[in-house]
Amino acid sequence: MPSFPAFGNPVDPARILNDGMDVVQKKIFADIAMTAARAKGASYADVRIGRYLNQFVVTRERRIQNIANTESFGVGIRVLAQGAWGFAATNKVTKEDIVKTAEKAVAVAKANARILTEPVQLAPQKGYGEVSWKTPIQKNAFEIPVKEKVDLLLSVNAAAMDAGVCGVAVGRNVWGAPNPGEVVKQLCRVVHGMA
């Protein structure tokens, strides 16, 4: 079965809908990053603390290959120093690692400044202050039972195979047929109800 280490760390499905880090703690970490960036010479800095959840339901032909829930959590720091942009990120969310990451972002900006032909100048813009944003969710995909997702994928696969497709891998290109273009057309017909 394929695994997905590049997409985050495995997370217990029972924990996936938890809110994550407290907003007060996020502010503390953002302040640490901003202070460290300014101390190293940044004239501008912004900090994003993000938690990204993914669920992979992988099917091939008439089988389930894998089901995985992952979480990616970390801090991204963008700075402007000596007229150039710098960026660094970490998934180690501790005071020490955030300071190191802010310092790395400034070092990247200063390295970029050496090859600039014209320094970056920000357009005048009134600041928004402290902002916290959460994606508005109308239908939470994690609340849909996995069985429903599996059934849907397997039914699409079955319909495609019944229509003559020699192999289906959801999320991948299907090759190996004498005419891959015809395979894609058939899949579109099945998926969009034109079969």
Domain ranges of the chain: 5-113, 144-191
Ranges under pLDDT 70 in the chain: 1-7, 13-17, 167-181, 183-184, 187, 190-191, 193-195
9-65 per-position pLDDT tens digit: 777 766 666 777 788 899 999 999 999 999 999 999 999 998 888 888 888 888 888
The structure tokens listed for 30 are 């953002």
Residue recorded with tokens 């928004």: 128
Q: What is the pLDDT of residue 174?
A: 44
- Residue for token digits 């600041």? 127
CATH no., domain 5-113: 3.30.2290.10
Cα 92 to Cα 113: distance, rounded to the nearest angstrom: 27
User: Residue 112 has what pLDDT?
Assistant: 95
